[in-house]
Amino acid sequence: MPRLRLAALLTITASFMLAAAASAQQKTTIGVSLAQDDNPFYIAMLRGIRARAQELGWEVATVSANEDKLKQINGVQDLIARGVKGILISPIDAIGVNAAYDAAAAAKIPIVSVARGSTSPNQTIHVAMDEKQIGRDIAEWTAGKLGGKGKVALLMGPSGAPTFKNLGDGYAEVMAKYPGISIVFRADGPLTRERGVKQAEDALVANPDLAAIYTANDDVALGVMQAVNAANRKGKTLVTGMNGVPPALRAVKEENLAMTVELNPVEWGRLGVDVLNTFLQGSKVEPHVFIKHVIIDATNIDAKLPKT
């Protein structure tokens, strides 16, 4: 029996390794550490990274953390051990994974944050959206639709991630200018559809006359939409998203989702690679690079729908 056990373990590990062994290479390799590998935003971003890297003749090595900070530090260490020339990272948290930046700096490897950023002094460049401005733009749009009055719920992102705090701060800053609008519900949580359903259900039970629900992410918005439709509040409670992923665009077309913000994560990935490339060639790059955003609603959705 012990032999059987050994054989089972070895067969499994060996088969995965042999599958991977084919990827031996001599080209420039860059490392990519994603906060999650199952969120459409990061999946699209990675697609952009891979596409741009291929054009440059680079290899891409990826590690994923699935929102586990320690795992992200470990993954970056593994990338460094692998000998990558530069790292693109989307840090889970502004402080928690600073050890990853320290490790890259110690190995003299540039580390560029894409999307979420870090407080680490060793962050080479931060490629990001203008978060507060997006929050303000969503709030202005929402306030306009509501005619400046109504109850609003905020479904923010994971606690501790500055992106979602900045978005929410920008949003709240604008809403504070409207005396008729009150924020009656505010909650943090992971960027999942499941959590959107649950929190929206709770928010709607507490405030059946909610006029709008802000969400920090399209996946959350898609969950919120389900709860709003189940409560027969479609068209009465505006749901706003953020990111512009394809299912959210379809939802805007079907008028389940009032609006979303197109961030075009594929372009983020491409921009991240370009910024890293410029840096590696020795040119000067500003420490903060902003990506432009576009509001998508019923007026421009037809031009934005993915071609099928």
Partner 1 sequence: MSYRSSLAGQIPLLTLLLLCAATALLTERFLSPLNLTNILVQSSIMAVIAMGMTFVIVGGGFDLSVGSTAALAGCVASMVMLDAGIAAGVIVGVFAGALVGVANGLIIAFLSVNPFITTLGTMVLVRGIVFLITGGAPVSGETGLPGAFVAFGSDRLFGVHYLVWIPALLLALLSFVLHATPYGRRVYATGGGREAAYLSGVRVRRVIASTYVWCGALAGVAGVMLAARLQSGQPTAGEFYELTAIAAVVLGGAALQGGEGTLYKSVIGVLIMIVLGNALNLLNVDSYWQRVAVGAVIIAAAAAERLRSRY
26 binds partner 1, rule: CB under 8 A:
no
Element (H or E) spanning 262, and its range? strand 260-262
8 binds partner 1, rule: CB under 8 A:
yes
Whole-number Å distance between alpha carbons of 152 and 154: 7
The distance of closest approach from Cβ of residue 5 to partner 1 in the complex, given in angstroms and rounded to an integer, is 3
Whole-number Å distance between alpha carbons of 165 and 293: 18
77 binds partner 1, rule: CB under 8 A:
yes
Contact segment (CB under 8 A) with partner 1 among 91-99, 219-227, 239-247, 282-290 equals: 91-99
Whole-number Å distance between alpha carbons of 212 and 175: 12
The distance of closest approach from Cβ of residue 14 to partner 1 in the complex, given in angstroms and rounded to an integer, is 6
Contact segment (CB under 8 A) with partner 1 among 88-96, 175-183, 271-279, 284-292 equals: 88-96
Whole-number Å distance between alpha carbons of 286 and 73: 25
73 binds partner 1, rule: CB under 8 A:
yes
294 binds partner 1, rule: CB under 8 A:
no
- Read out DSSP for 77-140? HHHHHHT-SEEEE--SSTTTTHHHHHHHHHTT--EEEESS----TT--EEEEE-HHHHHHHHHH
Among 28, 74, 122, 278, binds partner 1 (CB under 8 A): 74
192 binds partner 1, rule: CB under 8 A:
no
Rg (C-alpha) for the chain, rounded Å, is 21
Binding site for partner 1 (CB under 8 A): 1-2, 4-6, 8-10, 12-14, 16-17, 19-21, 23, 34, 37, 61-64, 67-70, 73-75, 77-83, 93, 95-99, 102, 107, 158-160, 188
